[in-house]
Amino acid sequence: MILEGAGNIIINLYKRAGLITCSFLFMFQVFNAQIEKTEAKIWNTKELDAGRKSFGLSELEADVILEINKARTNPSKYAELYIKPRLSNYNGKVYNDKTVTKEGTVAVNDCISAMNSQVKLLPLKPDNNLIKLAKEYTKMQGKTNQTGHETDGKGFKERMKTIIDDNKVVGENISYGRNTARDIVIAQLIDDGRPKRGHRKNILRANYTHIGVASGEHKEYSTMCTINFFGDNT
């Protein structure tokens, strides 16, 4: 009888756990649906995501372009929905109990302030040549434990000269060790530990018109993502 009673208790606990799990999943699905409805009211994702199926991009690569275009076309709302909520996850300079940052919430608040004062910009269009360059660099650097924009003495501007006219302005962002598009883009917008906020400036540069993205493996950081930009030099 004792064993039978204990067994019933365990079964009931499993049932309750199952109900809790189902309830959590249901709440999570409802929450996601609400976010999607909110996003649909703010962004025309079909327009911002028009190149997803036309340029041979992976899902991650296409998502990076979408996230960047959302940040460009409504920067204040992007900061409100996706960046400001992160403030509650900091304990000093530690984010989510595991990531040690250099500036803590200082960089996050700086990003929010900058995006609140940033004018809305046009979305970037995918470009085959930029995608090709990004793929080549990701494949080349990913085999090594190197980071940065220079390999064999050549920086990204020199690499881009092969496809970009002299009257174009170019830029490059590279992310290491991040696995989702939103994490990649938000980290570059916050730009922790970089006083000049060069990654953020690239994403929000008004005269950029085109973008190329390539993700791949990296010997030291597991993953990397190269993002190339160009536009008119005006």
Residue that is written with structure tokens 């080549």 in the block: 136
Reduced to 3 states, what is the DSSP secondary structure of residue 192?
coil
pLDDT digit string (tens) for 36-79?
A: 677 888 999 989 998 899 999 999 999 999 999 999 999 999 99
Q: What is the mean pLDDT of the chain?
A: 87
| Banded model confidence at residue 162, pLDDT cuts 50, 70, 90 | confident
pLDDT at site 10? 44
Task: Extract the tokens encoding 96.
Answer: 């989510």
pLDDT digit string (tens) for 20-36?
A: 555 655 654 665 566 66
Beta strand segments in the chain, E: 90-91, 94-95, 99-100, 125-126, 168-176, 208-218, 222-232
The pTM for the full model equals 0.85
